[in-house]
Structure 1
Amino acid sequence: MKHTLIKAAALLVAALAAAATSPVRAQEAAGDGKALFLKNCAACHQASGKGIPGAFPALAGSKFVQGQGGDVASVLLKGRGGMPDFSGSLSDRDIASVLTFVRSSWGNQAAALSESEVGTLRTALGVESFGDTAMSNKH
């Protein structure tokens, strides 16, 4: 099942990339963000974004998720509570893509985040730069 889901997500990303042009870059990022969400976040927060009450918070309709982009990105870069940090396994582009997807899905209506915004925050928080190697994926 996991391999089927990954293949389906990869096909979605490939289809969006093939159809992408400069004016639809945000659409492509949302497609990438959805695939990244399904791979890295859905096990806890659920594909519906509704989470698991008492264990994993809902992202759908969340005031925090729709609030300051830097606050939400900080959680992915440094972790919070029981949530791990993704600073070593997701690039700034990946973090921006997944957060753009989450902030615009399930009725959420918040602004997209850019790769440069996440990179600036990473530096400000003193989080090590992402290592884009096969060994950097700790999740």
Structure 2
Amino acid sequence: MKKTISVLFALLTLASSTANAAGKDDLWESKISIEGMEMMGMAIPSQKICTQAGRSMDPNDAMKGQDGCTVSDYKNAGTKSSWKYKCTGAQPMSGSAEMNATANEYTIKMKTQTAQGNMNMTANGKKIGSCNYETDGPQAKK
């Protein structure tokens, strides 16, 4: 589960950067929901993500640093993208993702299969302002 959520957060960062136009860096608010988690009182709080202006989406970037994870069947047509992913190792999983991203919002739907069962996740994001990627981006917080 932890690996699944870390992969999803990496994809969220990429999704919000996909919607960027050239210019200033953008601050996004993202909300993740995992089917059934809210009913168990385990809602995930919204996240604020600073993304670099002009960066384009590549799901392979999200898998960097994720042990044994690969992306396949990546397709992009206009504002819609889809891909499959697979992770081997201690927490194997596989699944598919679909994303629709515009300049000001995005939605990602992921279907993941793990040894513990299947999970359906949705992430929604909207641009809420500007930021400085050099000081506020995910790489600066490591």
Q: Structure 2 length normalisation: TM-score?
A: 0.26
Q: Which has the higher contact order (CA 8 A, sep 6+)?
A: 2
Q: Structure 1 length normalisation: TM-score?
A: 0.26
Larger % of helix: which?
Answer: 1
Larger % of strand: which?
Answer: 2
